[in-house]
């Protein structure tokens, strides 16, 4: 189907990292309807509530940014301008700052929702041509702890398993995740697999009783921040009961002795007490894992969004390395990606510390390879600013200009009022996005309207390394342009050669060529192949006749220097700010079923408000009673960072001493009292730089 014609077009859902295939039907009036793609290997025709209602977000263009806007100083109102005027002025300001303060005075803050081609050109522009590594993405808030842990344990940021392993496995341990709400179609597959094989076991660890727990054989309702203690206790039981794979450990791993020593430091009784769960529950979970021939783990933000996020990830991956459950059908650690293309962004190196094709910025050989491929200009060895560091640098004046693409940091950043001060303080702010409802817009000096889902083509990689091509179905409204085209036009205004692509596919082919010879080699893959095959799982290249690689490490040769996987005996301490007499409750934040991120798309769909229409505070009955709070009372949640006011939802589904706020809501008519990140701390994991969203301390009172 050629774009513009009526008919059916194949694409991929633009929300979560499950990556469901979608067929878009377009009629003669240009009206679109969506349905699940029955031929897509991920979802086999199914869609969740968010995916099913995607056409409403496309058809309702009432909030779309339509024309470039600009102002010459902060006192002016922005005026509509032409693309050339907006980009020429932006280029002039960027050049001024770069000449005066150096290339690290400018930065791009992008998104796991950007397409791979978009990520590629932005990364190439800043690292290869501007000469700074100041590009980071909201994936830093989502996946960076998993990325670091994969590298440290397996030698590469590589999800070893695939979705088909769900139907093969005996046991799934879901750690700190609620896939029943956040990755619904993946969870439908788990439900179907368990129905078909009642012997399949499910373990869930979460301080809340979520929808996911309804299918759990064992729910470990642990205290926030105690995941490593739990994983170590399970590891200790597996070792003591002989439920480990000695041969695998000896032949394919290193570090087991240190690990053994680390896990033996606490008795199971002590671990149970720290985790706030019954001792026998830990034995039950360990027995299910020990008895399973095939074992998978799924995890997301409960482990990643932590000041000990990398260690939490490592402690979970260790359970696979000591049981030899990796690289085989039905086995493997599987970090569930929150965003649709967080993985594609990592493939092109679109983070402050990465280079394309999983190359390392700190490696001079890798820098040389990429520089030679792009234009011969030496790449800076200085790591760029990460997400939270960018806003800190705006605050202290080190960073002068920030270009924000497809993300809404004034809802999603930790200690968001600090981030807001950063934007107020910035000398120059560019916002490139689709919606006029973004909280960042009042701070923007230049606004660039972007094309949305199905208004542009490109590729995305889902959580199981599956690359799918997204077809263009319809034209963008007004003068909105695809993000990649905006960046290429800007590069020309900067006077850079190397951005003269005659198609989006040309960008993809350049990216694919840069992967040649690496562990994620997709050299030779093009849109024709993706169109014919619908999707491919990397690595795919001549060496495997362009067949999908369903699983990595099937040969048990890992990508570390020693070719062995590394078992890390990590410390089990929790570096989060601990509760005090003034702030005795632990706040954890997260998603609800029918909303996506900061609601700039799902917030437009009335049907998606029927499930949960407003923010709320989930609180245990004992904590509510102590404070004289009744169900539906308006309550104020406070700490040293700020406050939030929402209605209380009293529930036994949350652990005593813990409260929960959804993360989606932002400012409504200048009122930010629903914004959960007013209360989160700007504390980050020292390795991954991922923030500690899941553990803040607060007090709650009736308002
Ligand atoms: Fe979209 Fe994720 Fe729902 Fe699939 S599960 S339809 S990818 S939001």
- Give the tens place of pLDDT for each residue, 256-308: 999 999 999 999 999 999 999 999 999 999 999 999 999 999 999 999 999 99
CATH topology of domain 148-336: Dimethylsulfoxide Reductase; domain 2 (3.40.228)
Cβ–Cβ under 8 Å, residues 691 and 680: yes
Report which ligand 1 atom has the smallest distance to the Cα of 36.
Answer: 6
Assess whether pLDDT exceeds 80 at residue 590: yes
- Residue 492 pLDDT: 97
What are the residue ranges of CATH 2.20.25.90 in the chain? 7-59
pLDDT at 672 over 70: yes
CATH 2.40.40.20 in the chain, residue ranges:
585-702
CA distance linking residue 231 with residue 665, whole number of Å: 33
**290 neighbors 238 (Cβ within 8 angstroms):** yes
339 Cα–ligand 1 center, Å: 10
Q: Which of 319, 287, 42, 294 is nearest to 168 (CA)?
A: 294
* Delimiting residues of CATH 3.40.228.10 domain(s) in the chain: 148-336
* Interval 200-238: pLDDT, tens: 999 999 999 999 999 999 999 999 999 999 999 999 999
Pocket of ligand 1 (CB under 6 A): 13, 15-16, 18-20, 43, 47-48, 50-51, 183-185
- Tell me the CA–centroid distance for residue 183 and ligand 1, in Å: 6
Pick the CATH number of 585-702 from 2.50.20.10, 1.10.10.10, 2.60.200.20, 2.40.40.20: 2.40.40.20
Q: Above 0.95 for ipTM, yes or no?
A: yes
Closest residue to atom 4 of ligand 1, CA basis:
20
For the chain, the average pLDDT equals 96
Region 569-591: mean pLDDT is: 97
Shortest-distance atom of ligand 1 to CA 48? 3
What is the position in ligand 1's atom list of the atom closest to the CA of 15?
A: 8
CA 331 to centroid of ligand 1, rounded, Å? 23
Ligand 1 centre distance from Cα of residue 148 (Å): 26
Please tell me the pTM assigned to this model.
Answer: 0.96
**CATH T-level fold of 7-59:** N-terminal domain of TfIIb (2.20.25)
Secondary structure element (H or E) that encloses residue 119, with its range:
helix 116-123
CA of 51 to the centre of ligand 1 (A): 5
Give 382 Cα–ligand 1 centroid separation in angstroms: 37
Distance, in Å, from the CA atom of 533 to the CA atom of 55, rounded to the nearest integer, reads: 25
Pocket test for ligand 1, best of 11, 14, 18, 186 (most atoms within 8 A of CB): 18
Using most ligand atoms within 8 A of CB, pick from 37, 46, 51, 596 the residue to mutate for ligand 1.
51
Whether the pLDDT of residue 11 is over 80: the answer is yes
Give the Cα separation of 64 and 434 in Å (integer): 6
CA 405 to CA 417: how far, in whole Å? 20
Residue of 15, 181, 594 to mutate, ligand 1, most atoms within 8 A of C-beta: 15
Q: Where in the chain is the domain with CATH 3.40.50.740?
A: 86-142+340-499
Ligand 1 atom nearest to CA at 596: 8
Cα(595)–Cα(589) distance, integer angstroms = 14
What kind and span of H or E run contains 646? strand 643-650
The pLDDT of residue 30: 86
The CATH architecture to which 86-142+340-499 belongs is 3-Layer(aba) Sandwich (3.40)
């Amino acid at each position: 189907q050629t774009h513009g014609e009526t008919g059916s077009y194949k694409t991929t859902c633009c929300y979560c990292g499950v990556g469901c295939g979608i067929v878009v039907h377009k009629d003669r009036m240009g009206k679109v309807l969506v349905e699940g793609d029955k031929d897509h290997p991920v979802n086999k025709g199914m869609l969740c509530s968010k995916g099913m209602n995607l056409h409403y977000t496309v058809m309702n263009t009432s909030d779309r940014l339509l024309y470039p806007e600009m102002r010459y100083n902060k006192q002016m109102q922005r005026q509509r301008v032409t693309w050339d005027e907006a980009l020429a002025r932006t280029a002039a300001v960027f050049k001024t700052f770069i000449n005066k303060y150096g290339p690290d005075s400018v930065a791009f803050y992008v998104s796991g929702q950007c397409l791979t081609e978009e990520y590629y050109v932005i990364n190439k522009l800043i690292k290869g041509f501007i000469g700074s590594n100041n590009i980071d993405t909201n994936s830093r808030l989502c996946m960076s702890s998993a990325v670091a842990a994969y590298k440290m344990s397996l030698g590469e940021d590589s999800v070893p398993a695939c979705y088909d392993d769900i139907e093969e496995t005996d046991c799934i341990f879901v750690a700190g995740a609620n896939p029943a709400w956040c990755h619904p179609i993946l969870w439908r597959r788990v439900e179907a697999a368990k129905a078909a094989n009642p012997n399949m076991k499910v373990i869930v660890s979460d301080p809340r009783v979520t929808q996911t727990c309804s299918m759990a054989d064992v729910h470990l309702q642990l205290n926030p921040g105690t995941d490593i203690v739990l994983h170590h206790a399970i590891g200790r039981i597996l070792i003591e009961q002989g439920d480990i794979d000695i041969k695998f450990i000896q032949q394919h791993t290193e570090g087991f002795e240190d690990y053994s020593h680390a896990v033996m430091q606490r008795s199971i009784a002590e671990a149970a007490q720290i985790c706030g769960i019954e001792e026998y529950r830990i034995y039950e979970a360990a027995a299910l894992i020990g008895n399973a021939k095939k074992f998978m783990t799924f995890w997301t933000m409960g482990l990643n969004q932590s000041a000990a996020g990398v260690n939490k990830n490592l402690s979970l991956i260790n359970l696979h390395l000591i049981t030899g459950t990796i690289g085989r059908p039905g086995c493997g650690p599987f970090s569930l990606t929150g965003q649709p293309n967080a993985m594609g962004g990592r493939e092109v190196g679109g983070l402050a510390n990465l280079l394309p094709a999983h190359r390392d910025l700190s490696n001079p050989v890798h820098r040389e390879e990429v520089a030679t491929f792009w234009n011969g200009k030496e790449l800076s060895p200085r790591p760029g600013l990460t997400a939270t560091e960018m806003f800190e640098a705006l605050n202290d004046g080190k960073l002068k200009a920030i270009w924000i693409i497809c993300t809404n940091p004034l809802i999603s950043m930790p200690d968001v009022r600090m981030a807001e001060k950063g934007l107020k303080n910035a000398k120059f702010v560019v916002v490139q996005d689709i919606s006029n409802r973004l909280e960042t817009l009042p701070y923007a000096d230049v606004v660039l309207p972007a094309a949305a889902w199905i208004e542009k083509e490109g590729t995305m990689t889902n959580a199981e390394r599956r690359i799918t091509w997204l077809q263009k179905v319809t034209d963008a409204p007004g003068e909105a342009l695809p993000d990649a085209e905006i960046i290429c036009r800007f590069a020309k205004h900067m006077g850079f050669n190397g951005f003269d692509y005659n198609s989006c596919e040309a960008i993809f082919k350049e990216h694919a060529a840069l992967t040649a010879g690496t562990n994620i080699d997709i050299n030779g893959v093009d849109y024709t192949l993706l169109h014919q095959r619908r999707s491919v799982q990397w690595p795919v290249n001549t060496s495997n006749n362009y067949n999908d690689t369903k699983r990595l490490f099937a040969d048990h040769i890992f990508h570390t220097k020693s070719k062995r996987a590394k078992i890390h005996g990590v410390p089990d301490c929790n570096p989060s700010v601990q509760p005090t007499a003034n702030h005795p409750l632990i706040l954890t934040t997260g998603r609800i079923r029918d909303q996506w991120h900061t609601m700039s798309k799902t917030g437009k769909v009335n049907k998606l408000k029927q499930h949960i229409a407003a923010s709320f505070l989930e609180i245990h009955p004992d904590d509510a009673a102590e404070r004289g709070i009744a169900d539906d009372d308006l309550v104020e949640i406070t700490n040293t960072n700020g406050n939030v006011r929402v209605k209380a939802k009293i529930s036994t589904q949350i652990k005593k001493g813990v409260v929960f706020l959804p993360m989606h809501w932002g400012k409504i008519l200048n009122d930010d009292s629903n914004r959960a990140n007013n209360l989160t701390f700007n504390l980050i994991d020292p390795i991954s730089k991922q923030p500690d969203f899941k553990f803040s301390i607060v007090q709650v009172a009736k308002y």
